[in-house]
Structure 1
């Protein structure tokens, strides 16, 4: 082999090693982002669960007696608490599984002639796509929780008004 051919081969090897290192780094970072998304999903689910319990308490408080002096506020409190409860239910609804599926990986790569580096590159692309879908779903669920808390606050305010009017005799 000539020196020029050796230099070209070494250069190609260096490029492959550098790409391999980048792919590995991306893979590790995507795994960290998946863990972060899982933590945020737990947080949104916890908030939605708290919202559901709080809305249930307001539903019970709204229906504990017949409001005679300001029934519209009592009905508004009940309706808004039900809206908050519905928002919580939507936020914690079961969703489709997002991520790389085991069977698909095996079917796609087990008997493939694709190099390990190419497989890993395709897997990180799949991870990135799955993470993008998961982030979108998480944002949607968080919006439902936010609207639920807004409805809950309005329900609490309406219930406070009707209770004050009943107690103070206004």
Structure 2
């Protein structure tokens, strides 16, 4: 078991490093070699960016999050899909991310609120049961006292208790 705990993180780290080195060790001109081709051929490589206005295939500038306007305007840049411009892609991903975050917050709020409502319902039910039990107990107590009083009357013991002076 100890070997598995050690092996899994090490293998994941090695796989990650191999992936990074494989991407960075590839020649930087791979995208530029596809300049005379189509958008589909350019975007077969994930690191490439296609610019419609200049019909060039360039390596995606990973140091900047968004490609600079001098390289290609966002509404003319294509990355991943030829039919969707980069600006639309960014807006769509931003909106989807926002919707997911809002949905998670709403779910967390509703779950916490529903959990509290469930606890309140549970407490109210327990309180009702306790009240019913107390009412039944008081009724039984009153019935027993009435029965005892009837028995005392029957046998003439309805007078004052002779031991009440000592208490």
TM-score, scaled to structure 1: 0.36
Task: Kindly indicate whether structure 1 or structure 2 has the higher relative contact order, using CA contacts under 8 Å at least 6 residues apart.
Answer: 1
Kindly name which structure, 1 or 2, has the bigger radius of gyration based on alpha carbons. 2
Higher helix share: 1
Higher strand share: 2
